[in-house]
Amino acid sequence: MTSNDAERPDDQPRPSGAFPGAPDVESVFPEGQAPSGEPGDGSAGAPAPGAAVRTRRRWSFAREVGVIVVAALVISFLIKTFVVQPFVIPSESMENTLIKDDRVLASRFVPRFLDINRGDVVVFKDPGGWLASQPQQESTGLVKAGETFLTFIGIRPVDAGEHLIKRVIGLPGDHVTCCDAQGRVSVNGVAIDETYIKPGSIPSEIEFDVVVPEGSLFVLGDNRQNSGDSRYNTDKPGNGFVPIDNVVGTAVAKVWPLDRASLMRNPGSVFEDVPEP
């Protein structure tokens, strides 16, 4: 026995690794698990607090984005339904006020909350047979679904296939005639000077004499010699008059193309001398 052995009793614990063959403390714990229970190099440990915080933040951000997107879609739908709706001009019948393929915004307040006035440019559903039936190539599959969705929320203009746009000349009860000695249209006995008709056009190439029924309108295009309006649909449902219930709004602004963008105002001075029927 050496002097060192004499100074260290056999029952006194020896420090780990004090002699060859003694196990290292770390080796008695499962791989990757430190004595304290904190994660080591393996994958068995609990997730770090920082990772959990980052995960919660990602989910919170995703929820916020979802809420914003849904709110935007709801607002867009409500605007289209109750405020304004885009439309595409389908023909040359309203030149030069509106040109084919112009985009306009129609106010949905009319006729729901506001009255229609003489001179208003109104968008309305075909009363029946005004639009020539033309075969149209329809989209299919995902393209059709996307177009339907964008139209539904008001981003994509409504297809012009079932809508027309004309100017109101006669309101319910009005007596509208053409033509006087100077070739002008008269409303309730007063001839009007129509400043909005296309240069080179005349107020009408045919004569007419009508009284507008209750709940209906008498409409004409600004391009009089190229407009299938009330004058030419007397053999169709409604006898050429447009039911007010078919009106979906009044055009209030041109928005496309940008170089033609402007507000659309009622030419009130044209009809200011027209008496009530």
Q: Report helix angle 141-153 to 49-82, nearest 10.
A: 70
Query: Please, what is the end-to-end C-alpha distance for the chain in angstroms?
Result: 135
Does residue 175 carry a pLDDT above 60? Answer: yes
* Residues in CB range of 237: below 8 A, 6 or more apart: 127, 128, 129
DSSP secondary-structure letter at 232?
A: G
- Residue 28, token pair as written in the block: 């008695």
Does residue 75 carry a pLDDT above 50? Answer: yes
pLDDT (mean) for 121-144: 74
* Residues in CB range of 242: below 8 A, 6 or more apart: 122, 124, 127, 166, 216, 217, 218, 219, 230
Hey, is 60 helix, strand or coil?
helix
Question: What is the C-alpha to C-alpha distance for residues 23 and 27, in angstroms, rounded to an integer?
Answer: 7
The pLDDT, as a whole number, for residue 63 is 75
Answer with the residue of higher pLDDT: 166 or 67. 166
How far, in Å, are 4, 14, 17, 21, 22 from residue 1 at the CA level?
8, 17, 21, 21, 21
Specify whether 16 is catalytic. Answer: no
The pLDDT, as a whole number, for residue 85 is 85
Site of tokens 């060192």: 4
The pLDDT, as a whole number, for residue 113 is 87
Specify whether 93 is catalytic. Answer: yes
pLDDT (mean) for 138-147: 62
Does residue 250 carry a pLDDT above 90? Answer: yes
Q: 91, 93, 107, 230: which one is catalytic?
A: 93
Answer with the residue of higher pLDDT: 121 or 108. 121
Strand ranges in the chain using DSSP code E only, listed in sequence order: 84-88, 103-107, 121-125, 163-170, 175-178, 185-187, 190-191, 208-211, 216-220, 242-243, 247-256, 262-263
Task: Compute, in degrees rounded to 10, the torsion defined by CA atoms 82, 87, 92, 97.
Answer: 50
Q: 80, 166, 198, 254: which one is catalytic?
A: 166
pLDDT (mean) for 56-77: 70
